[in-house]
């Protein structure tokens, strides 16, 4: 059983289970699925600095912080008890395209040529950690949600704004992948 669970899960297992998170949270306590809100609650709880945007009853939303704590534990469980001993299987075309950009590690979920403590203080680290993280936090709040809040919860409930947001998430990703990564990785 454990061995079976330890293999990478195909999309038709992982996707439907992710979809079930929507009714799970609704039925557990009328919670709308979304994760980027947790970043806002952290700001409201720890660094409100008198800013209007962070003046709200964040304690009412503690469930969202508990949920992301669970996410952390889930990551821990999946990487220990359910660890996949095999390297990740990536499309050959992607390997080829990335190796032309200088990426050599295709064993790990996050290639060690870019991701790791040793890169944090380099120019690459500033782009991939600081700039990338900042855009994720700024952009999701500006967009009013992330992949979970818009692309899963929003699209599951047929919200036009979520369709617009999701299209632009993809446009941004295409721009990074095809125009910016060649600059960042060279």
CB of 28 to other proteins, least distance (A): 5
- In the list 99, 109, 122, 182, the residue contacting other proteins (rule: CB under 8 A) is 109
**How many residues does this entry show for the chain?**
186
Hey, how many other C-beta atoms are within 10 angstroms of the C-beta on 175?
11
Restricting to residues 126-155, which ones interact with other proteins according to CB under 8 A? 127-155
79 binds other proteins (CB under 8 A): yes
- In the list 110, 122, 123, 186, the residue contacting other proteins (rule: CB under 8 A) is 110
CB of 114 to other proteins, least distance (A): 7
- Within 13 Å, how many C-alpha atoms sit on residue 126's CB side? 3
Burial 28-54 (b: 16+ CB within 10 A, else e): eeeeebbbbbbbbbbbbeeeeeeeeeb
Q: Which CB sits closer to other proteins, 8 or 102?
A: 8
- In the list 29, 85, 86, 183, the residue contacting other proteins (rule: CB under 8 A) is 29
113 binds other proteins (CB under 8 A): no
- Within 13 Å, how many C-alpha atoms sit on residue 149's CB side? 18
180 binds other proteins (CB under 8 A): yes
Q: Helices 132-143 and 37-46, interaxial angle, to 10°?
A: 100
102 binds other proteins (CB under 8 A): no
93 binds other proteins (CB under 8 A): yes
């Amino acid at each position: 059983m454990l061995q079976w669970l330890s293999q990478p899960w195909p999309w038709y297992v992982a996707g439907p289970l992710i979809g079930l998170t929507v009714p799970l949270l609704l039925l557990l306590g009328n919670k709308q699925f979304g994760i980027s809100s947790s970043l806002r609650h952290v700001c409201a709880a720890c660094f409100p600095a008198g800013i209007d945007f962070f003046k709200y009853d964040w304690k009412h939303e503690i469930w969202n912080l508990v949920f992301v704590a669970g996410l952390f534990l889930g990551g821990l469980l999946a990487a220990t008890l359910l660890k996949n001993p095999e390297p990740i299987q990536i499309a050959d075309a992607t390997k080829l395209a990335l190796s032309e950009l200088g990426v050599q590690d295709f064993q790990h979920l996050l290639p060690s040529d870019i991701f790791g403590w040793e890169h944090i203080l380099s120019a690459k680290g500033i782009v991939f950690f600081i700039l990338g993280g900042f855009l994720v936090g700024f952009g999701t709040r500006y967009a009013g949600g992330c992949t979970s809040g818009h692309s899963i919860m929003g699209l599951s409930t047929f919200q036009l704004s979520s369709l617009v947001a999701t299209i632009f998430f993809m446009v941004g990703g295409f721009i990074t992948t095809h125009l910016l990564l060649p600059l960042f990785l060279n």
